[in-house]
Amino acid sequence: DTGVSQNPRHKITKRGQNVTFRCDPISEHNRLYWYRQTLGQGPEFLTYFQNEAQLEKSRLLSDRFSAERPKGSFSTLEIQRTEQGDSAMYLCASSQGTGTLYGYTFGSGTRLTVV
């Protein structure tokens, strides 16, 4: 098991384009979380899945953002009609259960730059 994997590591896109990121969690983890981290700030929660069900979405997740986790395995985060304000590091984390007992494992993130 190589931990949580995120692809791509970096993405540069023009404003108005759509982008999709992928996260492969630790295989036995049933929960998967997406966070966004801007420069000089801590990560902010976006959404999470328990298996294939998306159970909570932050108000940060505008209608241009959509996340899926088909079959409860990998997850994708899509941003439509990107804006410069979307430039950030997008982090994925997974856990078995709530993570309060065993912690969460984070991926290295996808850095998005919108030009």
Partner 1 sequence: GDSVTQMEGPVTLSEEAFLTINCTYTATGYPSLFWYVQYPGEGLQLLLKATKADDKGSNKGFEATYRKETTSFHLEKGSVQVSDSAVYFCALSEVYAGGTSYGKLTFGQGTILTVHP
Q: Rule CB under 8 A: which residues touch partner 1?
A: 4, 31, 33, 35, 40-45, 48, 55-56, 91, 93, 95, 97-101, 103-109
Closer CB to partner 1, 80 or 96, in the complex? 96
Burial category of 35 from C-beta neighbours within 10 Å (exposed 0-12, middle 13-18, buried 19 and up): buried
Q: How far is the CB of 85 from partner 1 (least distance, A)?
A: 18
Q: How far is the CB of 95 from partner 1 (least distance, A)?
A: 6
Closer CB to partner 1, 13 or 106, in the complex? 106
Q: What DSSP line would sit under 34-58, residue for residue?
A: EEEE-TTS--EEEEEEETTEEEEE-
Instruction: Examine residue 8 and say whether the peptide bond preceding it is cis (omega within 30 degrees of 0).
Output: yes
Q: How far is the CB of 17 from partner 1 (least distance, A)?
A: 26
Q: How far is the CB of 83 from partner 1 (least distance, A)?
A: 23
